[in-house]
Amino acid sequence: MSELTTIARPYAKAAFEFAVEKGVVESWNDMLFFASEVAKNEQVAQFLTGSASADKQSEIVISVCAEQLNEYGQNLVKVMAENGRLTALPAVAQLFSAFKADYDKEIDVDITSATTLAAAQQETLVAALEKRFARKVKLNCSVDESLVGGLMIKAGDTVIDGTVRGKLNRLATTLQS
């Protein structure tokens, strides 16, 4: 996956800079998401890894996407096809989405708790996390009863382990050293 990310980064960056310049970041995000879903389709993915010409590959992707791609989106598909990079389209969409979240000063935070969080608890968490990260926070909550109690918070590269299990593990490590 890291190789695809390396391949996709210049395309995502160029598309994002163009979208910001034109003020159409949201529509580009939608376009790239749709095109990436098309590229992920099993039959289309097999076709893209086959020996078809770049023109044929771009023609197929553009025809499947139909009105979902504007002329600039179609140009991106054509350029990626000419360079043999259409298989990286899902990675381009993912990177573009990350650039958009950074631009919008948003962050997705995954919260795992032992029990379902009440709305008031979620609001308190959002307020605290927005203060900590200086960004708008979107919570993705899930329940894992094996945690015993507390929360596991994951935001990008940051992990905050406030679970009972995590605290017990840290205590055991401290006692052993």
User: CB–CB of 25/103 below 8 Å?
Assistant: yes
56 HSE (CA, 13 A, CB side) = 8
Residues 142 and 93 in one domain: no
Sign of the dihedral through C-alpha 86, 92, 94, 96 = negative
Q: Could you tell me the CATH number of the domain that includes residue 142?
A: 3.40.30
Residues 75 and 115 in one domain: no
Q: Could you tell me the CATH number of the domain that includes residue 85?
A: 1.10.520.20
Residues 122 and 78 in one domain: no
pLDDT band at residue 165 using 50, 70 and 90 as cut-offs: confident
User: CB–CB of 136/105 below 8 Å?
Assistant: yes
Rounded distance between C-alpha atoms, residue 48 and residue 42, angstroms: 10
pLDDT band at residue 148 using 50, 70 and 90 as cut-offs: confident
Region 42-55: what's the mean pLDDT?
82
Region 16-44: what's the mean pLDDT?
91
Q: What is the DSSP string of 23-39?
A: T-HHHHHHHHHHHHHHH
Provide long-range contacts, Cβ within 8 A and 24+ apart, for 132-138.
133/107, 133/158, 134/105, 135/105, 135/106, 135/107, 136/104, 136/105, 136/106, 136/107, 137/106, 137/107, 137/109, 138/106, 138/107, 138/108, 138/109
pLDDT above 80 (res 95): yes
Residue 119: predicted pLDDT: 92
Region 129-153: what's the mean pLDDT?
90
Region 135-140: what's the mean pLDDT?
90
Residues 26 and 97 in one domain: yes
Residue 2: predicted pLDDT: 67
Residues 93 and 169 in one domain: no
Residue 157: predicted pLDDT: 85
